[in-house]
């Protein structure tokens, strides 16, 4: 029974193994990035950037069809451009960076959908918006693995300034100039992981595997290392369970993965030891003998 339910799909079908490997690799890179987005109070920035890559991917699609390198390069170029432009607008106008980014991402989303609709069918539009985990090929797996490797190495190099900026940005600014470069590198990692997630989950769901595990982990622990490990494990588990549910129910795989992560998030809201509803309702002893 357990074999038929869990192991058989991956033993019998190559596309299921590819989907699992790709999702696990995505979770390994997106988990730590999502944790730092949350700690830096930039959670909605990830959502905005996920939409911002759509026009670039759409241009790649218009020129070369559903060819991975063209769509990836287009998404990277537009994602970096939107990140830089939103920062520039915030510096030279009265708008704050979040408002500027919101404006750019809404324009990007509408433009991207329009561009895909010019040439493609509704099926192509759904593929771009929601991805196709079960259609991952060797090129997509290599891309995702490369992005995850770059992410982990870069985070290891800028880990200390990132943590300091989350805890005490004023102190970091007084003792080092690493805050600015580390912020730019971190934004680049966000874009990279969203482009990687776009291949499997589409522009509308890629941020889900980044933010839902991170916010769920925060309800169980407040220690940064624990957050990163737990968020990564939740992302991997959500990918595994979501793929299995999709296989047995014929539901779309990407949404199943995000719904499983959403279920973990809701359970964490209720039962989480570091801020869940139940633990907040239990009276705490303030004084002990």
| Tens of each residue's pLDDT in the chain, 289 residues | 777 788 888 988 999 999 999 999 999 999 999 999 998 887 777 777 777 787 887 787 777 776 777 877 888 888 888 877 877 777 777 777 667 777 777 787 788 778 777 766 666 666 666 777 888 888 889 989 999 999 999 999 999 888 888 877 777 777 777 777 888 888 888 888 888 887 778 766 788 899 999 999 999 998 999 999 999 999 999 999 999 999 999 888 888 999 999 999 999 999 988 888 887 777 766 555 4
What is the model's pLDDT at position 131?
A: 72
Residue 285 lies in a domain: no
Q: Please spell the DSSP secondary structure of 106-162, one letter per residue.
A: HHHHHHHHHHHHHHS-HHHHHHHHH--GGG--HHHHHHHHHHHHHHHHHHHHSHHHH
Q: What is the pLDDT of residue 286?
A: 58
Q: How far apart are CA 196 and CA 156, in angstroms?
A: 19
Residue 57 sits in a domain whose CATH number is: 1.10.3470.10
The predicted structure's pLDDT at residue 240: 94
In a domain, 288, yes or no: no
pTM as predicted: 0.85
> What is the distance between the alpha carbons of residues 2 and 9, in angstroms, rounded to a whole number?
11
Q: What is the pLDDT of residue 217?
A: 95
Q: Is 289 part of any domain?
A: no
In a domain, 177, yes or no: yes
Supply the range of the domain harboring residue 249.
2-280
Task: Classify each residue of 53-75 as buried b or exposed e, where b means 16 or more C-beta atoms within 10 Å of its C-beta.
Answer: bbbbbbbbbeeeeeebebbbbbb
Q: Is 126 part of any domain?
A: yes
**Looking at the 3D structure of the chain, how many domains does it have?**
1
Q: Is residue 160 part of a domain?
A: yes
User: What's residue 232's pLDDT?
Assistant: 96
pLDDT at 288: 54
| Angle of the 14-39 helix axis to the 43-52 helix axis, nearest 10 | 130
Asked if residue 73 belongs to a domain, the reply is yes
C-beta of residue 74 within 8 angstroms of C-beta of residue 59: yes
Specify the pLDDT at position 128. Answer: 67
Between CA 56 and CA 237 the distance in angstroms is: 31
In a domain, 143, yes or no: yes
């Amino acid at each position: 029974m357990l074999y038929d339910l869990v192991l058989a799909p991956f033993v019998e079908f190559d596309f299921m193994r590819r989907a699992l490997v790709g999702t696990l690799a995505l979770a390994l890179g997106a988990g730590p990035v999502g944790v730092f987005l949350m700690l830096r109070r930039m959670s909605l920035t990830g959502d905005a950037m996920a939409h911002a890559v759509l026009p670039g991917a759409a241009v790649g699609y218009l020129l070369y069809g559903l060819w991975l390198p063209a769509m990836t390069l287009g998404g990277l170029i537009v994602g970096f451009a939107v990140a830089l432009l939103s920062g520039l607008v915030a510096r030279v106008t009265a708008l704050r960076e979040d408002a500027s980014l919101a404006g750019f991402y809404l324009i990007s989303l509408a433009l991207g959908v329009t561009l895909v609709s010019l040439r493609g069918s509704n099926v192509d539009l759904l593929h771009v918006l929601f991805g196709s985990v079960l259609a991952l090929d060797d090129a997509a797996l290599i891309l995702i693995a490369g992005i995850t490797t770059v992410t982990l190495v870069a985070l290891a190099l800028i880990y200390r300034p990132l943590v300091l900026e989350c805890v005490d940005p004023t102190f970091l600014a007084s003792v080092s100039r690493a805050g600015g470069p580390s912020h730019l590198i971190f934004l680049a990692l966000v874009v990279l992981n969203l482009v990687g997630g776009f291949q499997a989950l589409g522009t509308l769901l890629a941020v889900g595997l980044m933010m839902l595990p991170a916010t769920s982990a925060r309800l169980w622990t407040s220690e940064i290392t624990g957050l990163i490990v737990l968020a990564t494990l939740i992302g991997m588990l959500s990918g595994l369970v979501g793929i299995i549910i999709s296989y047995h129910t014929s539901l779309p795989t990407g949404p199943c993965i995000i719904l499983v992560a959403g279920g973990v998030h809701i359970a964490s809201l209720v039962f989480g030891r570091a801020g869940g509803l139940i633990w907040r309702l239990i009276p705490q002893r303030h004084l002990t003998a």
